[in-house]
Amino acid sequence: MKVLVAVKRVIDYNVKARVKADNSDVDLANVKMALNPFCEIAIEEAVRLKEAGTADEVVVVSVGSKSCDEQIRTALALGCDRGIRIDTPDSPDSLSVAKLLAKVVEQETPGLVVLGKQAIDSDNNQTGQMLAALLNRPQGTFASAVNISEDKVQVTREIDGGLQTVELAMPAIVTTDLRLNEPRYASLPNIMKAKRKPLTVITPDELGVTVGSNISLLRVDPPAERQAGVKVSSVDELVEKLRNEAKVI
């Protein structure tokens, strides 16, 4: 069985995001970029399936410019076998990404497609669901456990009421949640080996997809600065401040 993993390049989660001076977008100049944390979980799950003998090959795919090659190489160092980059200079919306991935899935015919449930930059949580709809394949989202037996995959989902287990006929789409696994670190020998693994670059035109965006970014503002607290000397003073200053009672 072949497993396809889709990954995204985002700001490293340890970095404090800055807003551009004109409030037009987030400032990415000289900012450390990394794999989306949910995508790392998806990679780890796919590699574990390969190590268990369930999968024969793990293919990683990303949508973006040449700068994404670094993250694809990281995925290859973590255990993926080969990489594919769909060359798009601009940031496409979730639907465009899903359409591009759908074409790659049709070409690669994987038994399982694994994605992070969302990216920590746009935070949309849409691509996996859109991909499943475009391919008319069963989907298991927010996965905290994945078990494969023959041509079925059982996905334990994290929902508001607790846990829900669904059984999907393969080929299927799975999106990963935080508690599915703990991603490994890439060792130095594997990082060196990743440089020799194949990485194919294709264009949206080759896939027959027109890339665009139906979303307009109007303005980006940083969160409001947290005000310093004050100490009060009595309950009466606290009530007075809550009533007259904070106006919450």
Q: Is residue 248 part of a domain?
A: no
Within a domain: residue 249? Answer: no
In 31-138, the DSSP E strands lie at: 33-35, 57-64, 82-87, 112-116
Q: Is 236 part of a structural domain of the chain?
A: no
How buried is residue 14: exposed, middle or buried, by Cβ count under 10 Å (0-12/13-18/19+)? exposed
Residue 187: helix, strand or coil by DSSP?
Answer: coil
User: Does residue 240 fall inside a structural domain?
Assistant: no
Is residue 228, in this structure, part of any structural domain at all? Answer: no
CATH code: domain of residue 128: 3.40.50.620
- Could you read off the pLDDT of 147-160 as tens digits, one per residue? 998 899 999 998 88
DSSP 215: -
Does residue 77 belong to any structural domain of this protein? yes
- Residue 229 tokens read as 């607290």
Task: Give yes or no for residue 135 having a pLDDT over 90.
Answer: yes
- The model's pTM is 0.87
Count of domains forming the chain: 1
Angle at 157 between CA 129 and CA 138, to 5 degrees: 40
List the domain range (segments joined by +) for residue 205. 2-221
Q: What is the pLDDT of residues 64-113, one digit of tens each?
A: 999 999 999 999 999 999 999 999 976 788 999 999 999 999 999 999 99
